[in-house]
């Protein structure tokens, strides 16, 4: 009996960066006209406070998106597992009935729509999130992770090494720790460890200098590859760009969601799946030592 693959949904740095790039084109310069909050626990701050404010920039740090508004106001967004932002050029009344069945590519709200932002030109943005883990927060400062973003010039080998060497937890857990490295989630942690040929269960601080160097390069490499392919949207994944388009990175995975398949490294082994910290890890036991 084959194990049935369950696809997960989780925007990581490349997915959020792809959304940011599209959002910049779609909403930069627009003025917020209306904010409909359908899920109160997911929206922190007074929605009224951003009405009439013009969007001056869209930035990202780690997995957190921040829409810069006039008067030093920020609308920060975390999509967590199943969050989506969908842009539509024209919001009509049907959009507010909230009765339209949800689909990944519908530029309409459905039963998972949590916030609807309308702009003064009639266009709008839907924040959909099936599992309600995601959030929108209004603040007076950009909300950023405690750690350094993988794409930042400050994400140096020295910084990476310092973090790798300061914990005895498994390296896979370390890579996903947003207090140490901002932007890497389950997909890219698995892929980077495969490229660097390191077993995800290895104790972080016990990696050799050579392994740390290889892993540092691998992390940067997979993140850039993810952006190149506009993120990953396997099967029923929630992730789509604000235009409703799916990413292509899932067609270029080495090990993620490949349990039972032959190792792409050419050895005779097959990809194994284990649990670490409640999350799935995929790796080749032969290649990754």
Partner DNA sequence: CTGCGGTCCTGAAGGC
Partner DNA sequence: TGCCTTCAGGACCGCA
The residues binding DNA (CB under 7 A) are 4, 6, 8, 10, 41, 62-63, 78, 80-82, 111-112, 130-133, 166-169, 173, 176, 178, 185-186, 236, 275, 278-280
Q: Which is nearer to DNA, 55 or 65 (CB)?
A: 65
State which H helix or E strand residue 250 sits in: none
Q: Catalytic: which of 11, 47, 109, 200?
A: 11
Q: Catalytic: which of 161, 273, 279, 285?
A: 279
Dist. CA 4–CA 268, nearest whole Å: 22
Q: Catalytic: which of 12, 15, 36, 191?
A: 12
Residues in contact with 206: Cβ distance below 8 Å, sequence separation at least 6, in sequence order: 168
Q: Is 11 a catalytic residue?
A: yes
Q: Catalytic: which of 63, 114, 172, 230?
A: 63
Dist. CA 205–CA 166, nearest whole Å: 6
CB of 117 to DNA, least distance (A): 21
Q: Is 60 a catalytic residue?
A: no
Q: Which is nearer to DNA, 37 or 130 (CB)?
A: 130
CB of 221 to DNA, least distance (A): 20
Q: Which is nearer to DNA, 175 or 284 (CB)?
A: 175
Dist. CA 45–CA 138, nearest whole Å: 5
For the packed helices 13-27 and 209-228, what is the interaxial angle rounded to 10 degrees?
Answer: 30
Dist. CA 24–CA 16, nearest whole Å: 12
CB of 42 to DNA, least distance (A): 9
CB of 171 to DNA, least distance (A): 11
Strand 55-61 and strand 148-149: pairing?
unpaired
Tokens of 88: 């539509």
Query: Can you tell me which residue has the tokens 């077993």?
Result: 199
Catalytic residue annotation: 11-12, 63, 279
């Amino acid at each position: 009996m084959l194990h049935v693959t369950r696809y997960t949904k989780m925007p990581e740095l490349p997915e959020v960066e792809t959304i940011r790039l599209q959002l910049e084109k779609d909403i930069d310069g627009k003025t917020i006209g209306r904010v409909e909050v359908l899920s109160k626990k997911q929206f922190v701050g007074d929605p009224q406070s951003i009405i009439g404010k013009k969007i001056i920039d869209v930035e990202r740090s780690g997995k957190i998106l921040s829409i810069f508004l006039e008067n030093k106001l920020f609308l920060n967004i975390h999509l967590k597992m199943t969050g989506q932002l969908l842009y539509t050029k024209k919001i009509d009344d049907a959009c507010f009935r909230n009765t339209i069945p949800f689909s990944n590519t519908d530029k309409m709200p459905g039963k998972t729509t949590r916030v609807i932002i309308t702009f003064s030109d009639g266009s709008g943005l839907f924040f959909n999130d099936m599992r309600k883990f995601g959030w929108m927060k209004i603040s007076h400062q950009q909300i950023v992770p405690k750690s350094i973003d993988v794409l930042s010039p400050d994400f140096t080998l020295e910084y990476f090494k310092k973090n790798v060497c300061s914990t005895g937890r498994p390296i896979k857990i370390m890579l996903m720790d947003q207090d140490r490295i901002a932007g890497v989630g389950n997909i890219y942690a698995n892929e980077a460890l495969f490229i660097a040929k390191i077993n995800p269960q290895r104790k972080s601080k016990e990696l050799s200098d050579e392994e740390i160097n290889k892993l540092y390069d691998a992390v940067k490499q997979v993140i850039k590859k993810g952006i190149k392919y506009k993120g990953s949207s396997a099967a029923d994944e929630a992730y789509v760009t604000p235009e409703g388009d799916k990413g292509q990175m899932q067609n270029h995975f080495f090990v993620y969601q490949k349990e039972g398949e032959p190792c792409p490294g050419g050895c005779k082994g097959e990809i194994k799946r284990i649990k670490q910290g409640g999350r799935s890890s995929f790796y080749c036991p032969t290649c990754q030592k």
